[in-house]
Amino acid sequence: MENKKYPIQKTEAEWRAELGDERYRILREKGTERPHTGEYNLHFEDGAYVCGACHTPLFKSDSKFESGCGWPSFDEAIDGAVEYVKDHTFGMVRTEILCSNCGSHLGHVFNDGPTKTGQRFCVNSLSVDFEN
């Protein structure tokens, strides 16, 4: 992870012990889960999606929609909950989204959403938990 200071600070060893191997790979090492495999891809209950590492509320359930991409998709984040970082990996130019409270990787945001915001926050299920 970058050396930026976030409100929640833990060593990578602490994060690994707390999150387990797969969640650590996605949240702290910027991994991606396989499409159409995540618990929250087709999940549409009322509540909020919170960071899987620090439990900060990130997305309200009314911003979730089915995009067909295979990952949970939202058309807006809760104000101030997400940090935006240019990502030039894999020969692409994308915008990575991170939890603004702990710096954990959530996924990416694209400007191809079908709703009025025009945004599609494409999030790994293992990057979030759901609370109702």
Task: Report how far residue 124's alpha carbon sits from residue 121's, in angstroms, rounded to the nearest whole number.
Answer: 10
Told to judge if 122 belongs to the known catalytic residues of this protein, a careful annotator would answer yes
Task: Report how far residue 1's alpha carbon sits from residue 97's, in angstroms, rounded to the nearest whole number.
Answer: 13
Tens of pLDDT, residue by residue over 51-82, are 999 999 999 999 999 999 999 999 999 999 99
Active-site residue, selected from the candidate residues 51, 54, 99, 122: 122
Q: Indicate the helix (H) or strand (E) that contains 28.
A: none
In the chain, the domains with their CATH numbers are 12-131 (2.170.150.20)
Tens of pLDDT, residue by residue over 13-59, are 999 999 999 999 999 999 999 999 999 999 999 999 999 999 999 99
In the chain, which ranges are E strands? 48-51, 57-60, 64-65, 73-74, 82-87, 94-99, 105-110, 120-123, 128-131
The model's confidence at residue 93, banded by pLDDT at 50, 70 and 90, is confident
pLDDT value of position 1: 47
